[in-house]
Amino acid sequence: MELYEFGVGQLAEAFEKGIASPSEALSSVLERIAGLEGEVRAFLLTDEEGARKAAAKADGLWLAARKGGTKPSALTGMPFVLKDNICTKGTRTSCGSRMLENFVPPYDATVAVKLAGSVLLGKSNMDEFAMGSSTENSAFGPTKNPWDTRAVPGGSSGGSAACVSAGFAPFALGSDTGGSIRQPASLCGVVGLKPTYGRVSRYGLVAFGSSLDQIGPFARSVEDAAMVFEAIAGHDPKDSTSSPRPVPDVRKACSKGVKGMRIGLPKEYFANGLDPEVRDLVMKAVLRLKDEGAEIVEVSLPSSMYGLAAYYLAATAEASSNLARFDGIRYGLRDLGAKDVVSAMKRTRSQGFGDEVKRRIMLGTYVLSAGYYEAYYNKALKVRRVLKDEFDEAFAKCDAIAGPTTPEVAFRFGERTEHPLSMYMSDIYTITANLIGIPAISVPCGLSKGLPVGLQLAARAFDEETLFAAAAEVERGSGFAGRIGGGAR
Amino acid sequence: MGIGRDEVMRIAELARLEFGEEDAAKYAKELDLILGYVAKLEEVGTEGKEALTHAQELVNVMRDDVPVEGLSQEQALMNAPARKGEFFLVPRIMDNSDED
CA–CA dist A10, A348 (Å, integer):
48
Instruction: Give the range of the structural domain holding residue A110, as residue numbers without chain letter.
Output: 1-489
CA–CA dist A169, A5 (Å, integer):
9
Task: Name residue B1's amino acid.
Answer: M
Cβ contact, residue pair A362, B78, below 8 Å: no
Cβ contact, residue pair A330, B19, below 8 Å: no
Provide the pLDDT confidence category of residue B99 given band limits of 50, 70 and 90: very low
Task: Name residue A66's amino acid.
Answer: R
HSE (side-chain half, CA atoms, 13 Å) at A109: 29
Q: What are the residues whose beta carbons fall under 8 Å from the beta carbon of A311, sequence distance 6 or more?
A: A178, A212, A380, A427, A431, A434, A435
CA–CA dist B82, A27 (Å, integer):
41
Which among A156, A242, A304, A478 is annotated as catalytic?
A: A156
Chain B residues whose CB is inside 8 A of the A381 CB are 51-53
Kind of pairing between the strands at A214-219 and A191-194: antiparallel
Q: Name which of A168, A447, A400, A388 is nearest A261 in CA terms.
A: A400
HSE (side-chain half, CA atoms, 13 Å) at A447: 13
CA–CA dist A287, A119 (Å, integer):
40
Q: Of chain A residues 243-282, which have a CB less than 8 A from chain B?
A: 243
A381 touches A435 (CB < 8 A)? no
How many helices (H) and strands (E) are present in chain B, helices listed first?
3, 2
CA–CA dist A45, A65 (Å, integer):
32
Considering its fold, how many domains does chain A have in total?
1
A303 flagged as catalytic: no
Q: Name which of A95, A460, A45, A429 is nearest A262 in CA terms.
A: A460
Which alpha helices (H) appear in B3-83, and where do they start and end? 5-15, 21-38, 73-77
- Residue of chain B whose alpha carbon sits nearest to that of A211: B54
CB atoms within 10 A of CB A422: 13
For residue A118, CA distances in Å to A22, A56, A78, A160, A441 come to: 9, 11, 5, 16, 23
Cβ contact, residue pair B55, A197, below 8 Å: yes
Of A212, A343, A383, the CB nearest to B41: A383
Angle ∠(A47,A52,A56) on CA atoms, nearest 5: 150
A175 flagged as catalytic: no
pLDDT score at B95: 64
Question: What string of H, E and C letters represents the secondary structure of chain A?
Answer: CCHHHCCHHHHHHHHHHCCCCHHHHHHHHHHHHHHHHHHHCCEEEECHHHHHHHHHHHHHHHHHHHCCCCCCCCCCCCEEEEECCECECCECCCCCCHHHCCCCCCCCCHHHHHCCCCEEEEEECCCHHHCCCCCCCCCCCCCCECCECCECCCCCCHHHHHHHHHCCCCEEEEEECCCCCHHHHHHHCCEEEECCCCCECCCCECCCCCCCCEEEEEECCHHHHHHHHHHHECCCCCCCCCCCCCCCCHHHHCCCCCCCCEEEEEHHHHCCCCCHHHHHHHHHHHHHHHHCCCEEEEECCCCHHHHHHHHHHHHHHHHHHHHHHCCCCCCCCCCCCCCEHHHHHHHHHHHHCCHHHHHHHHHHHHHHCCCCHHHHHHHHHHHHHHHHHHHHHHHHHCCEEEEECCCCCCCECCCCCCCHHHHHHHHCCCHHHHHHCCCEEEEEEEEECCEEEEEEEEECCCCHHHHHHHHHHHHHHHCCCCCCCCCCC
ipTM computed for the complex: 0.93
DSSP state of B44: S
Chain A residues whose CB is inside 8 A of the B57 CB are none
pLDDT score at B98: 52
Q: Name which of A453, A470, A416, A449 is nearest A292 in CA terms.
A: A470
Cβ contact, residue pair B3, A366, below 8 Å: yes
CB atoms within 10 A of CB B56: 16
pLDDT score at A488: 47
Can you state the angle between helices A8-17 and A22-40, rounded to 10 degrees?
150
Q: Give me the residues paired with residue A456 across strands.
A: A403, A442
**Rg of chain B, C-alpha, whole Å:** 23
CA–CA dist A225, A441 (Å, integer):
10
Which among A180, A186, A242, A304 is annotated as catalytic?
A: A180
Of B34, B50, B81, the CB nearest to A385: B50
- For A86, list phi and psi in degrees, rounded to 5: -105, 120
Q: What is the CATH number of the domain that holds A417?
A: 3.90.1300.10
pLDDT tens for the 489 residues of chain A, in order: 999 999 999 999 999 999 999 999 999 999 999 999 999 999 999 999 999 999 999 999 999 999 999 999 999 999 999 999 999 999 999 999 999 999 999 999 999 999 999 999 999 999 999 999 999 999 999 999 999 999 999 999 999 999 999 999 999 999 999 999 999 999 999 999 999 999 999 999 999 999 999 999 999 999 999 999 999 999 999 999 999 999 999 999 999 999 999 999 999 999 878 999 999 999 999 999 999 999 999 999 999 999 999 999 999 999 999 999 999 999 999 998 888 999 999 999 999 999 999 999 999 999 999 888 989 999 999 999 999 999 999 999 999 999 999 999 999 999 998 888 888 888 999 999 999 999 999 999 999 999 999 999 999 999 999 999 999 999 999 989 989 986 544
Burial class (CB in 10 A: 0-12, 13-18, 19+), A171: buried
Biggest alpha carbon–alpha carbon distance for chain B? 61
User: What average pLDDT does the segment B8-35 reach?
Assistant: 94
CA–CA dist A204, A293 (Å, integer):
42
A105 touches A84 (CB < 8 A)? no
- For A138, list phi and psi in degrees, rounded to 5: -70, 135
Smallest CA–CA separation between B94 and chain A, in Å? 8
Cβ contact, residue pair B46, A382, below 8 Å: yes
Chain B residues whose CB is inside 8 A of the A209 CB are none
- For A443, list phi and psi in degrees, rounded to 5: -125, 135
- Residue of chain B whose alpha carbon sits nearest to that of A314: B53
Counting every residue written for chain B, the total comes to 100
User: What average pLDDT does the segment B27-55 reach?
Assistant: 93
Provide the pLDDT confidence category of residue B100 given band limits of 50, 70 and 90: very low
> Strand, helix or coil at B30?
helix
